[in-house]
């Protein structure tokens, strides 16, 4: 089943993002100007973490001094005892970990002068896809963004992310490329250059937890991300994350719109999340929660539940919508150095829909569904092998939907890391008798493409 992205951001939001990018570009220049006066307000930031209490050395140019900006490890970071630096780089031990600024000597004792970190980042992704006796160059959910975080015991953080359609392809197989949209609304702009993916701001209170407001990852995604978005191209249909041809914003299941999220980690093994969605009226609000338990290093189990209210207008628009949306997900994941695995089971009632053409009219039709998704990855040095399975089993109840409607396919792929953040990948979708809502057979797809990730952090006053 082909997928097309849907809606672009508002011009005013695009302008704001461009201004933020310009501000980031100007930041290093202003820092260099001040450096000539004997001080420095921008510095390269690297992350160095000691795992399992072992000593680790992170190569770095430490000639101008080092400052600990933010502790991120499980152990305490004390200069000269659990961390330090020499000509070889920065060393950490006894589970100390953190973000370290490379800069002027004054930073080693004057790190408190720095407000926080500014991080532009992005993923450039494109591939050649062969399907249905044709071949097409496609974008593959390319995105750029900016993150900001202050220092101190109470930290403010913010982020914005935009999807970029590099090659203006109308067809995209990556569900993560979906744009924002209302449940049941037909969008006519199928290939916008930009789409708004994320935009949020929040406060981190340390052991008390974190609160964030805006468009951000949902508590449902806390669990479904065990498999969804871990493949290079395919997957996602079995987890009810990006539903109704959208990014899951209106449903509060993917990149959720207009939500307030609270998250915290308790006893270092229990992650909890609570979500409230406020869309301008009780008839369209929602709520959800997630719980994740780490049972072994790199092994966790979790579950999530989300309830989304549908307004009467939405119920009148979408045929077969008989109540509010309900979404549940259970999953487990393993993250080890040479092996990764994710398994998710999902169930939704009144939570997904498809557009069905009937008598020259496109009708939105709702359906319930169960789903399951499996992700497997093995890696040896620069070579990675990927396998998986996705199954969405709709509970068909409307006569406009084919009674055999289902999505089922296997995923096989490989990737070669040319560099740590650059890779060549190939990934195939092997259809297993899928049937579209109108009764058409599913397609198998072969892709080969490239992905380059970039990110850099600077500290600033």
pLDDT band at 187 (very low <50, low <70, confident <90, very high): low
What pLDDT, in 10s, does the model give residues 254-276?
999 999 999 999 999 999 999 99
What pLDDT, in 10s, does the model give residues 330-378?
999 999 989 999 999 999 999 999 999 987 889 999 999 999 999 999 9
Q: Say whether 239 sits in a helix, a strand or coil.
A: helix
Whether residue 66 has pLDDT greater than 90: no
Q: Provide the pLDDT for residue 17.
A: 43
Is the Cβ–Cβ distance between 305 and 325 less than 8 Å? Answer: no
Whether residue 33 has pLDDT greater than 70: no
Q: Does the reported pTM lie above 0.85?
A: no
Whether residue 238 has pLDDT greater than 50: yes
Is domain 119-460 annotated with CATH 3.40.1390.10? no
Q: What are the backbone angles phi and psi of residue 288, rounded to the nearest 5°? A: -165, 175
When the pLDDT of each residue in the chain is averaged and rounded to a whole number, the result is 87
Whether residue 3 has pLDDT greater than 50: no
Q: Which residue has the tokens 């900001």?
A: 148
The pLDDT of 149-173, averaged and rounded, is 88
What would the two tokens of residue 419 be?
């560099």
CA distance 4 to 170: 6
pLDDT band at 54 (very low <50, low <70, confident <90, very high): confident
Q: Provide the pLDDT for residue 396.
A: 85
Rg (the chain; Cα; Å): 23
Every domain range in the chain assigned CATH 2.40.160.10: 119-460
Is the Cβ–Cβ distance between 219 and 232 less than 8 Å? Answer: no
Whether residue 224 has pLDDT greater than 90: yes
The pLDDT of 211-226, averaged and rounded, is 98
Q: What are the backbone angles phi and psi of residue 176, rounded to the nearest 5°? A: -65, -15
CA distance 336 to 450: 25
Whether residue 10 has pLDDT greater than 50: no
Percent of the chain with pLDDT over 70: 86
Q: What are the backbone angles phi and psi of residue 137, rounded to the nearest 5°? A: -80, 125
């Amino acid at each position: 089943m082909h997928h097309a992205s849907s809606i672009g951001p508002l011009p005013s939001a695009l302008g704001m993002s461009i201004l933020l990018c310009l501000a980031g570009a100007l930041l290093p220049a202003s820092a260099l100007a001040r450096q000539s006066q004997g001080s420095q307000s921008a510095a390269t930031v690297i992350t160095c973490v000691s795992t399992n209490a072992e000593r680790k050395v992170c190569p770095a140019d430490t000639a101008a001094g080092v400052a600990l900006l933010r502790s991120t490890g499980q152990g305490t970071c004390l200069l000269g005892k659990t961390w330090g630096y020499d000509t070889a780089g920065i060393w950490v031990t006894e589970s100390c970990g953190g973000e370290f600024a490379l800069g002027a000597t004054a930073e080693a004792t004057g790190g408190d002068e720095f407000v926080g970190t500014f991080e532009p980042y992005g993923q450039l992704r494109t591939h050649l896809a062969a399907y249905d006796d044709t071949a097409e160059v496609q974008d593959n959910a390319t995105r750029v963004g900016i993150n900001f975080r202050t220092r101190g015991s109470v930290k403010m953080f913010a982020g914005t992310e935009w999807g970029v359609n590099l090659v203006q392809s109308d067809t995209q197989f990556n569900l993560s490329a979906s744009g924002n949209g209302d449940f049941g609304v037909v969008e006519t702009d199928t290939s916008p250059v930009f789409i708004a993916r994320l935009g949020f701001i929040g406060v981190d209170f340390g052991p008390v937890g974190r609160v964030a407001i805006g468009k951000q990852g949902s508590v449902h995604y806390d669990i479904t991300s065990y498999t969804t978005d871990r493949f290079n191209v395919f997957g996602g249909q079995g987890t009810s994350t990006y539903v109704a041809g959208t990014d899951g914003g209106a449903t509060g299941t993917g990149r959720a719109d207009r939500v307030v999220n609270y998250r915290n980690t308790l006893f270092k093994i229990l992650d909890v999340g609570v979500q409230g969605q406020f869309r301008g009226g009780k008839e369209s609000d929602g709520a959800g929660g997630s719980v994740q338990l780490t049972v072994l290093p790199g092994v966790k189990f979790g579950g999530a539940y989300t309830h989304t209210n549908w307004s009467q207008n939405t119920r009148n628009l979408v045929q077969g919508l008989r109540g509010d949306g309900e979404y549940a997900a259970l999953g487990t994941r393993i993250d080890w150095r040479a092996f990764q695995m994710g398994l998710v089971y999902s169930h939704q009632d009144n939570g997904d829909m498809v557009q069905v053409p009937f008598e020259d009219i496109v009708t939105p039709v709702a359906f319930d569904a169960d789903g399951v998704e499996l992700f497997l990855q093995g890696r040896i040095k620069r070579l990675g092998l990927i396998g998986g399975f996705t199954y969405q089993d709709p509970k068909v109840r409307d006569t406009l939907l084919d009674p055999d409607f289902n999505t089922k396919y296997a995923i096989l792929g490989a990737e070669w890391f040319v560099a740590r953040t650059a890779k060549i990948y190939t990934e195939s979708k092997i259809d297993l008798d899928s049937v579209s809502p109108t009764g058409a057979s599913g397609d198998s797809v072969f892709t080969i493409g490239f992905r380059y990730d970039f990110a850099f952090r600077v500290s600033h006053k």
